């Protein structure tokens, strides 16, 4: 990207969606969201309805999108879902500390004096779970002080709200402070859709997308299809909102929501709490959805008022027509939604999803049989409650009710089982301490961790971690192999906090709390009563400790330090622009077999400390990828070029050898390549090492966009079965050129790969393979410039010269 330099910046205004700022928005960083400018949203939507939309009925997701069009007057026809690109004006940006580093490094070179929209940084990813609570936060300051001081200084300089480590997890803090019905937010984390629980269209993106919004550049999104999920009835006592999304994931799979916004509707919606809706939206990322959301209603109003945002609730109460799908849609959903899924809440039973993928669902009543058939380890070595998905007051109060039942019988967590609890925010921690919830957990042997992500993202210093296969159960949202503790043989089953607590008390994955019994301290058998919890705390939320309130300073003259000897922060160098010719002489670094998430492409865990240092982080590129040519062997490839070392070895080592020798290379991938987190490093690292193209059977949405942002050409095989097989056979023999890159245009989405198989210097076979691209005109401009940031910087420089 760009080397650090001294740049002249221009002052700009901030507000909701356009220069017409919302009431009270102001120009400085915000502790809480201002009341949205619903008059502006309605005006934009009315303009779109009266022109290109021809007054057709709209879903809620469509209303919010069209109310945030950057320039309605520039549109000449109605957007076509799955084809047209929308240029949008987001209201807000939120970033977590791991992804914020690269986003800030890019924004520093955009030429802006402050962010164009309200923005916040949340320090939650770099806190490692170990001793618990405050001790882990204090230790994070020792291990990551350089990063925290960099982010805090950048926040002060550019007018960004800074939430220090220990304040909470980004998505819980956004829900408590910044989410507002009908608004559009970008977040540099794939679980940003958590905000949909408050009627917000909250979308996970890479850092380069966030920089667009922060730099007042219209943000581009392919017009999504809308999937309606109709909820009927109410949940049974043992079932929870987590079980709703576990069921939806089991039905749709990890690819089923790709290209869709998932919109919930039906008579069952009102039976759910606001935080329960957030849980469902949060884990919508696991089906590949662009985002998920619920219509505004009474549960959201109650939550807004409980979190000191009564003015937003009052304003939203007057906007029911805007904040719900049109009446025609509700009356005939099959006509207006692109797909409709039905969920009978009353019939839903608790479930576990896993292991190793969040869409493998086993209903609670079938778990004992599945454990026996699959030979899954039945003993639960660790039970983990919390994460951004399930750390609300309602979640924790329900789980605590089960803990109290056990403690009353003299029972603690099972021998050999560790119970860890992660509160979602300082507000939640303080409230659960005040209301006896923390004491209930500790009475059965739980350890309360810091208000941070911790084990959910691999930040878990697991003492005496089991070697070999072992089972953990968690209320997390993601369970890819080796994600939580670095052990590829740890089986993580996702469940509600209620089921996690039941597993902790019994010590068994096969335990069914609705039918099985526990043994009390006196030897008597007893069965747990269903969990009981409060939607909101009766005494209101406790404020928590003052030191965990956000820092709101704005000092444009502040310096942002990067030590030249740092191993964790590195100024960015610009990627080279496209050379203007067809690609030629590309070697296939690896043909990836099966699931390849962004965790596989750019691992987290111990690598999180390098998120601001691209050169160091690139040493983990694709280390989790399985090689289709070597029977699925992980992180091992053959060198395609004679004379280069190593002849075969770890994927990043061979990639570095290609880069040093000036050999361009590509990756060939399987279905849904890049699913999982929003980390743009999974695109930046291959680009840094010389990758020109990624050719896949299909892509996950965020990762495909991230590749485009960094100047890598993503291509989809037109014949995914037949042509993938070409690359799976001895890919080190293949030399790849392109046909169609020179004339790349949005109207002609075809590029051919000219693939030669070379043995002993002779071409023994040739293939002409058709691929498709999804590049818009703007995205092609990014590609030609070398990256989206290259283009932004060039445009900013032109603007400054004109001024």
Residue ranges of alpha helices (H) inside 483-623 are: 497-506, 598-601, 614-617
Among 469, 420, 416, 468, smallest CA distance to 441 is for: 420
Look up 677 and say whether it is catalytic.
Answer: yes
Nearest to 399 by CA among 216, 586, 532, 269: 532
- Reported as type and span, the H/E element at residue 329 is helix 327-331
Residue 96 in tokens = 């977590």
SS3 760: coil
> One of 136, 189, 359, 512 is an active-site residue; which one?
189
Q: How far is CA 193 from CA 190, 201, 388, 698, 766, in A?
A: 7, 7, 11, 22, 45
Among 677, 681, 723, 773, which one carries the catalytic annotation? Answer: 677
Catalytic residue selected from 679, 687, 703, 773: 679
Catalytic residue among 68, 70, 125, 171: 125
Query: Is 344 designated active site?
Result: no
d(C-alpha 137, C-alpha 787), whole Å: 36
Largest CA distance in the chain: 83
Beta bridge partners of 762: 759
Judged by DSSP in three states, 364 sits in helix
Annotated catalytic residue within 124, 485, 512, 723: 124
Using left for φ > 0, alpha for ψ between -120 and 50, and beta otherwise, residue 331 falls in: alpha
The whole-angstrom separation of Cα 254 and Cα 250 is: 8
Q: Is 509 exposed, middle or buried (0-12, 13-18, 19+ CB in 10 A)?
A: buried
Phi then psi for residue 13, to 5 deg, are -100, 165
- Bond prior to 355 in cis (omega within 30° of 0): yes
Q: Is 579 a catalytic residue?
A: no
- Three-state secondary structure call for residue 757: strand
Does 267 qualify as catalytic in the annotation? no
**506 among known catalytic residues:** no
Phi, psi of 491 (to 5 degrees): -95, 115
For 37, the token pair is: 């400018």
CB 459 within 8 A of CB 483: no
Q: What are phi and psi of 696, to 5 degrees?
A: -135, 160
Q: Which of 44, 70, 364, 478 is catalytic?
A: 478
For residue 125, indicate whether it is catalytic.
yes
- Active centre residues (catalytic): 124-125, 189, 478, 677, 679
């Amino acid at each position: 990207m760009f080397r650090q330099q001294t740049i002249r910046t221009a002052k700009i205004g901030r507000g909701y969606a356009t220069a017409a700022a919302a009431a009270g928005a102001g120009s400085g960083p915000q502790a809480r969201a201002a009341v949205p400018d619903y008059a502006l949203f309605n005006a934009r939507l009315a303009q779109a309805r009266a022109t290109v939309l021809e007054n057709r009925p709209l879903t809620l997701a469509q209303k919010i999108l069209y109310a945030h069009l950057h320039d309605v007057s520039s549109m000449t026809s109605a957007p076509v879902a799955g084809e047209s690109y929308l240029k949008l004006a987001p209201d807000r940006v939120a970033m977590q500390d791991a992804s914020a580093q690269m986003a800030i490094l890019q924004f520093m070179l955009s030429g802006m004096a402050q962010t164009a929209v309200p923005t916040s940084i949340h320090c939650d990813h770099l806190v490692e779970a170990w001793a618990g609570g405050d001790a882990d936060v204090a230790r994070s300051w020792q291990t990551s002080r350089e990063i925290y001081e960099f982010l805090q200084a950048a926040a002060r300089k550019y007018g960004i709200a800074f939430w220090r480590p220990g304040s909470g997890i980004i998505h819980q803090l956004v829900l408590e402070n910044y989410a507002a019905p009908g608004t559009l937010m970008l977040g540099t984390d794939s679980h940003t859709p958590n905000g949909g629980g408050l009627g917000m269209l909250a979308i996970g993106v890479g850092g380069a997308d966030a920089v667009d919004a922060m730099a007042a550049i219209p943000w581009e999104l392919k017009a999504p299809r809308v999937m309606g999920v109709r909820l009927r009835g109410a949940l049974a006592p043992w079932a929870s909102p987590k079980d709703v999304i576990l069921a939806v994931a089991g039905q749709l799979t990890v690819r089923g929501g790709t290209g869709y916004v998932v919109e919930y509707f039906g008579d069952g919606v009102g039976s759910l709490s606001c935080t329960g809706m957030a849980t469902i939206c949060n884990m919508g990322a696991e089906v590949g959805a662009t985002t998920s959301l619920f219509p505004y209603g009474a549960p959201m109003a109650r939550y807004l008022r409980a979190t000191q945002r009564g003015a937003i609730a009052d304003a939203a109460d007057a906007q029911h027509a805007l904040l719900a799908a049109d009446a025609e849609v509700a009356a005939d959903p099959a006509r207006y939604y692109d797909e409709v899924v039905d969920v009978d809440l009353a019939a839903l039973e608790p479930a576990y999803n896993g292991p190793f993928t969040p869409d493998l669902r086993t209903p609670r009543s079938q778990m004992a049989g599945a454990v026996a058939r699959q030979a899954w380890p039945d003993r639960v070595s660790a039970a983990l409650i919390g994460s951004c998905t399930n750390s609300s007051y309602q979640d924790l109060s329900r789980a605590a009710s089960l803990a109290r039942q056990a403690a009353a019988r003299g029972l603690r967590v099972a021998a050999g089982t560790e119970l860890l609890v992660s509160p979602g925010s300082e507000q939640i921690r303080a409230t659960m301490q005040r209301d006896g919830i923390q004491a209930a957990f500790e009475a059965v042997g739980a350890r309360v961790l810091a208000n941070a992500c911790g084990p959910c993202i691999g930040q878990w210093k697991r003492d005496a971690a089991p070697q070999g296969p072992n089972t953990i159960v968690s209320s997390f949202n993601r369970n890819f192999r080796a994600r939580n503790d670095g052990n590829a043989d740890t089986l993580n089953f996702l469940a509600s906090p209620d089921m996690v607590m039941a597993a902790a008390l019994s010590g068994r994955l096969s335990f069914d709390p609705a039918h099985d019994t526990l043994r009390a301290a006196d030897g008597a058998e007893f069965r747990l009563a269903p969990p009981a919890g409060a939607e909101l705390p009766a005494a209101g939320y406790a404020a928590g400790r003052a030191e965990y309130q956000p820092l709101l300073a704005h000092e444009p003259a502040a310096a942002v330090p990067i030590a030249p000897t740092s191993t964790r922060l590195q100024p960015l160098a610009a990627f080279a622009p496209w050379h203007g010719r067809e690609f030629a002489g590309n070697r296939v670094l690896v043909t990836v077999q099966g699931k390849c998430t962004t965790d596989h492409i750019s691992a987290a865990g111990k690598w999180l400390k390098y998120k601001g240092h691209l050169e160091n982080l690139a040493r983990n590129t694709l280390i989790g990828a399985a090689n289709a040519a070597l029977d699925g062997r992980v992180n091992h490839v053959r060198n395609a070029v004679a004379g280069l070392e190593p002849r075969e070895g770890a994927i990043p080592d061979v990639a570095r050898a290609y880069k040093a020798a000036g050999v361009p290379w590509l990756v060939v991938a399987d279905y849904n390549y890049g699913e999982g987190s929003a980390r743009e490093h999974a695109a930046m690292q291959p680009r840094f090492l010389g990758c020109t193209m990624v050719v896949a059977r299909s892509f996950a949405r965020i990762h495909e966009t991230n590749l485009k942002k960094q100047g890598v050409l993503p291509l989809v095989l037109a014949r995914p079965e037949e042509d993938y097989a070409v690359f799976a056979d001895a890919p080190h023999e293949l030399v790849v050129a392109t046909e169609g890159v020179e004339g790349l245009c949005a109207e002609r989405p075809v590029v051919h790969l000219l693939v030669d198989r070379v043995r002993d210097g002779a071409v023994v076979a040739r293939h002409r393979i058709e691929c498709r691209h999804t590049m818009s005109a703007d995205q092609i401009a990014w590609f030609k410039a070398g990256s989206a940031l290259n283009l932004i910087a060039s445009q900013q420089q032109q603007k400054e010269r004109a001024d």
